[in-house]
Amino acid sequence: MTDHGRQMPGMLVGLIAVARRDLLLAWKRPGDVLNPLFFFAMVCTLFPLAVGPSAEQLTFSGPGVLWVAALLAMLISLNSLFISDFDDGSLEQLLVSPQPLPLVGLGKTAAHWLTSGLPLVLVSPIVAITYRMPGDVVIVLMLTLTLGTISLSLLGSIGAALTVGLHRGTALLSLLILPLSMPVLIIGANTVSLAAGNETYSAGIWALSAYAVGTLSLAPYATAAALRISNE
């Protein structure tokens, strides 16, 4: 055995390997990426249909509707974060790997954000314009969505890890994640509203950034603990 003088691999090796694999998987199944986006667009269509398409209603409710739709779309995509790995046994292999589990989980979450959060951010201007959102407000929307979806991916990974393998885990996942995501929703949507009303909105941006950084440092540990517990 040639393990004398062999170095342990760097810490990020696992993160990168898992992230690349997940991105490759998403590439092979573009539907998984597109479905939440269609869902997002459809939910945004529901509101004018249900409540009325008057211009003032649209501009007034735009930030909120877009944010809620983004949150729900993220929720849908979070369902499948760990399920396929749990079912085919690759999750157990990761638990037994020398790579630190928090970083591995972070790698999966990063790949998940790149295939769900980021596309949402990129698609949001199109929908925002239909809500008569002016350009500078759209920028704020994209900024809050970027920061917010990062937090949502991270928080969602905790919920997904806790509910993976459970019967009816889907509904339970929503029940767990929605209360956790309320601060992000509140701050994100209302910051965009403030921007739309030409008021100062920087406080919200700072808060969202702090929240994103906070969840980035803490969520991976909770996710790793939850993954171990779920695999017992």
Q: Would you tell me which residues interact with another protein (CB under 8 A)? A: 1-3, 6-9, 13-14, 16-18, 20-21, 24-25, 28-29, 84, 88-90, 92-93, 95-100, 155, 158, 162-163, 166-169, 172, 175-176, 178-180, 182-183, 186-187, 190, 193-194, 207, 211, 218, 222, 225-226, 228-232
The nearer residue to another protein, 48 or 165, going by C-beta atoms, is 165
Would you report the helix, strand and coil content of the chain in percent, each value rounded to 5? 85, 0, 15
Q: How far apart are CA 52 and CA 65, in angstroms?
A: 13
Q: How far apart are CA 94 and CA 230, in angstroms?
A: 13
DSSP 131: T
**Minimal distance, residue 36 CB to another protein, in Å:** 18
Tell me the angle at which helices 202-230 and 101-130 cross, rounded to the nearest 10 degrees: 140
The nearer residue to another protein, 107 or 117, going by C-beta atoms, is 107
**Minimal distance, residue 92 CB to another protein, in Å:** 6
Instruction: Name the token pair of 79.
Output: 């369902």
The nearer residue to another protein, 21 or 114, going by C-beta atoms, is 21
**Minimal distance, residue 175 CB to another protein, in Å:** 5
Residue among 125, 179, 139 nearest 156 (CA): 179
Backbone torsion region of residue 100, taken as left when φ is above 0, otherwise alpha when ψ lies between -120 and 50, otherwise beta: beta
**Minimal distance, residue 13 CB to another protein, in Å:** 6
**Minimal distance, residue 156 CB to another protein, in Å:** 12
Compute CA distances 26 → 114, 115, 120, 196, whole Å: 10, 7, 15, 35
The nearer residue to another protein, 66 or 123, going by C-beta atoms, is 66
CB 137 within 8 A of CB 64: no
Q: How far apart are CA 161 and CA 220, in angstroms?
A: 10
**Minimal distance, residue 49 CB to another protein, in Å:** 24
The nearer residue to another protein, 132 or 228, going by C-beta atoms, is 228
**Minimal distance, residue 95 CB to another protein, in Å:** 6
The nearer residue to another protein, 57 or 97, going by C-beta atoms, is 97
Q: How far apart are CA 14 and CA 94, in angstroms?
A: 9
The nearer residue to another protein, 9 or 53, going by C-beta atoms, is 9
